[in-house]
Amino acid sequence: MANGTDYYAVLGVPSSAPADEIKKQYRRLAKQYHPDANQNDPKAADRFKEISEAYNVVGDAEKRKQYDDMRRLGAFGGVGGFNSGSARPSSRPSGFGGTGPGQGGPGTFNDFDVGGLGGLGDLFSSMFGAGARARNKGPERGQTVEQTVEIPFRVAATGGKVPVDIEVNEECAVCHGNGAAPGAQLKPCTECSGRGVISFGQGSFAVNRPCPVCVGRGSIPSERCPTCRGTGEARVRRKVLISVPSGAESGHKVRLRGQGGKGAAGGQAGDLVITFDVQSDRFYKRDGLDLIATVPINVAQATLGSRVSVRTLDGKKVAIRIPAGTSAGKRFKVSGQGIEKDGSKGDLLVEVTITVPGALNEAQEKAMRDFAEASGLKY
């Protein structure tokens, strides 16, 4: 943020605000300034992007800690720092106060550019996202998309393919990522003189960070792209066919290389990470690699014995012999008809339940009474 504005100020919360308060405030502001709800207000899109950028940092525990550390060093203007003066743009910040190496004093930092400082450069890149990398004007890897997908029980058990609709941010096809409307002119950004970065100093300390006006591009279009509203990105929906391995369970993840967001400036596409959520089945339940199928039988079948037909996972029918005197909950095993995974295969366990008729005709009732009397039962 330029001119001393920081992410907490953007969200309108104190730097000591707890995470849930920050999240609540972000949702309120995002709803208020969402472009879909403010189609006649072009400034709302800019405000929404600003809010989202702020929450992307202070809404993440790790990034927030890094950001707070940098604020204390005065990297964001008017907060913390080595001296109490406010932050000031500068093309050449002064040194730390020594006479330079080899002259008996501490070394002098003539240009403290976070892009070449390893950890600090990574820190800024992680906090500011694509904007921090834009000044390199080189290829950028596309967005990695993570999505949870519901998988039918039988597809998860036997393996197969399922179509998945995904949404990703891709380089705008109209402006090709430069944010300019067709025919618009690109002029050097006056805020950063076309560098794409602004140097901010706090006393003897300064850092380079993306220009907030041109978002690190170094240029500003005379007219913003109407498709992406100048962001250089567009939300795209597409369908992907996902292969489900045999024996997949809820929580199982599949990574598809290069199936995520399209890379910018010729960069490699991101990945698609799918997490499975296996649906329940009306007939089968799962216990490890074993399948459990519940089959109802009546009192006569349980008492006298019977045969029942059960369909296996692959659609075949197998006959199960129910011996006389079978009680409810008894299980019968059909070997090798369970779930196959990593070279192992489970069994099909057929569990019987005994159903009691709700109403009897005259002949059925007489037969039951005769049975009860023969058994010495009183009713």
Q: Give the single-character DSSP code of 140.
A: B
How many helices and strands in the chain, by DSSP H and E? 9, 18
Instruction: Answer yes or no: is 189 a known binding residue.
Output: yes
Instruction: Answer yes or no: is 286 a known binding residue.
Output: no
Structure tokens at 239: 């369908």
Instruction: Answer yes or no: is 214 a known binding residue.
Output: yes
- Alpha-carbon dihedral sign for residues 194, 196, 202, 203: negative
- Whether 313 and 348 have beta carbons less than 8 Å apart is answered as yes
Q: Which stretch of DSSP H or E encloses residue 5?
A: none
Q: Give the single-character DSSP code of 16.
A: T
Determine whether 108 is exposed, middle or buried from the number of CB atoms within 10 Å of its CB (0-12, 13-18, 19+).
Answer: middle
Instruction: Answer yes or no: is 87 a known binding residue.
Output: no
Beta strands per DSSP E along 100-217: 145-151, 160-171, 186-188, 197-202, 205-210
Instruction: Answer yes or no: is 248 a known binding residue.
Output: no
Q: Which stretch of DSSP H or E encloses residue 138?
A: none
Listed in sequence order, the residues at least 6 apart from 371 whose beta carbon sits closer than 8 Å to its beta carbon are none
Give the whole-angstrom CA distance, residue 246 versus residue 289. Answer: 11
CA angle 293–294–296, rounded 5-degree value: 145
Coil, strand or helix at 28? helix
Could you count the other beta carbons within 10 Å of the beta carbon of residue 242? 19
Instruction: Answer yes or no: is 9 a known binding residue.
Output: no
Amino acid found at 181: A
Place of tokens 């800019």: 46
Instruction: Answer yes or no: is 192 a known binding residue.
Output: yes
Instruction: Answer yes or no: is 47 a known binding residue.
Output: no
- Whether 2 and 38 have beta carbons less than 8 Å apart is answered as no
291 - beta bridge partners? 286, 348
Q: Give the single-character DSSP code of 368.
A: H
Which parts are annotated binding residues for Zn(2+)?
172, 175, 189, 192, 211, 214, 225, 228
Which parts are annotated binding residues?
172, 175, 189, 192, 211, 214, 225, 228
